[in-house]
Structures are given as C-alpha cells and as structure tokens.
Amino acid sequence: MSKKAERRVDSTLSKGLAILETLAGMKSGIGVSDLSREMCLTKSNTFRLLQTLTALGYVRREPDKSYAATLKAWQIGRAVVENLNLRTAASRMMLFLSEETKEAIYLAVRDGLNVVYIDKIESTKPIRTWNPIGGAAPIYCVGTGKALLAEDYRLLRDQVIATLEPFTDRTITDAASLDKDMAATRLRGYGIDSGEFRPNVLSFGAAIHLPNGEAIGALGVSVPDINLGKGDSERIGALVQHAARSVSENLGRL
C-alpha cells in the first residue's frame, strides 16, 4: 500500500473495526484490560472504542463487565449476501464449463430438500440433457444437490432419509448407502449422480461457498452416459470443482 493510500485510512475507524473483528472471533466475552493487551492498544483507548461500538449496537456489555460482539455485523453481512447476484457471479465459470465440456451447465440453489435451477447453458452436442430454468430435483439424487447436501448433511440427514424414493434403479434409497455417498462426496469435493434421477443421465456438481464457508449454490454439468468416454467422469468432476472454487474465491473479493 502506498503512503498516500495509508494516509486515507482513518486510524480510529480501523481500530474500532479491528476490535469488532476480534470480538466476533471469540466464543465468549473479554474484559477491557485483556482486550487492550490483545489489540496492543491503551486501556483508555480500548474502552472508548468499546463504548462507541456498544452505543451503535455492534457490541454488548455482559453482566460480568466483559464485552462481546452482537449479531448486528452478521445481519449486515446477510443483507449483502441476499443482494448478491449469484447468476452474474457464476456466469464466467459457467461459460468456462460449457466451453470445456460442451454439455449442459447448471447453476442451482437449495430449496428445502430440493435443488432449483436458476441458470443454465445448453449443451452443444447432438445428444444432450435438458432441464428448464426453474426446474427442481430432489437433493439426494443429482450432482448439484448432493454437493449441497454434503455441506449440511448432519443437519439434513434425518429429513432426507425420510423422503428417499426411487426414480431409477440406481437411486439411493437407504440410509447406509446415503451416508457412504455423502462421505465420498465430501472427500472427493464434488457430487456425482450416476443416473439416479433420470436413466442414463449423469451429473456432477460442486458447491459455491461464501467467505464464511456457507454453501449458497452449486455448479453442475449434466451428461448423457453415451457421451462419456474413458476418464471423462474424473475430468468433468475436476472441472466443476475448479469452477465452483473460482466462483467462491470471487465472492470472497466482493
């Protein structure tokens, strides 16, 4: 950073934000003395900044006289997330996947125990798959859905298991098999649908993450099995994982 840029940084504001970031990362409150040592600030300066943050609602004073962050910063962050245009953020990598695979590319978000497709690029191959924008599929039997389910599997497991039903002879319909598939998905970094929602149609999906690790969507590639050659499954899986990671990194820079 240039000296000119450094002079534009307000010292008081930067110290206040640093205190807020420190408090947000703590599991319990902290006293003024301990916080001042942690921040390498004077006790009086730390106290004044805490008073300002408390008055603005970003910090609260606990009964034991320690200070802790409130949810106000989180609420602001959520408002930013809700205003993100995920389609715009993912568009470049969707084009990348389309150029690399020539297959149908999907952007999906979770809606309860389903995924909904909010954007797509059509396949350019003679034999292709098709799903409309706005179409939905059960979360446990398509690539994008599996990628998102794996992110919150502990929370969603019992609900999903209660809804398992077959769509093809490959659909996972028992808890043990789903547990195994989710473990493999997490280890691999992307979900694979091996013809579990529609016969002879495979799909690969990887989750898109916010900077805090929350999964807010998934990129997917849908492929008729007749289009797959030796090594194509691994190649497409790696491509969709790379694309989703790239979108996640871009979101972190917004």
DSSP string for residues in 191-208: EEEESSSSTTEEEEEEEE
More confident residue, 213 or 170: 170
pTM: 0.70
Per residue in 146-199, pLDDT (tens digit) is 999 999 999 999 999 999 999 999 999 999 999 999 999 999 999 999 999 999
Cβ-contact 171, 141 below 8 angstroms: yes
Residue 228 has pLDDT above 50, yes or no: yes
Q: What is the pLDDT confidence band of residue 77, given thresholds at 50, 70 and 90?
A: low
pLDDT at position 24 is 83
The secondary structure of 95-147, three-state, reads HHHHHHHCCEEEEEEEECCEEEEEEEECCCCCCCCCCCCCCEEECCCCHHHHH
Collapse the DSSP code of 17 into the 3-class scheme (helix H, G, I; strand E, B; otherwise coil) and give the result.
helix
Let me know how long the chain is.
254
For residue 190, give the DSSP letter. Answer: S
In whole numbers, what is the pLDDT of the chain averaged over residues?
Answer: 90
Could you read off the pLDDT of 128-145 as tens digits, one per residue?
Answer: 888 888 889 999 999 999
Q: What is the largest CA-CA distance in the chain?
A: 72
Task: Tell me how far apart the alpha carbons of residues 17 and 62 are, in angstroms, rounded to a whole number.
Answer: 20
Q: Which amino acid is at 217?
A: G
- pLDDT tens figures, 80-95: 655 568 888 999 999 9
Region 193-216 average pLDDT: 94
Are 68 and 28 within 8 A, CB to CB? yes
pLDDT computed for residue 1 by the predictor? 41
For residue 249, what are its two tokens?
């990194």
Contacts of 152 (CB under 8 A, 6+ apart): 215
Question: Which pLDDT band holds residue 251 (cuts at 50, 70, 90)?
Answer: confident
Mean predicted confidence (pLDDT) in 99-119: 93
| pLDDT, tens digit (0-9, with 9 covering 90-100), for 32-71 | 999 999 899 999 999 999 999 999 999 999 989 899 988 8
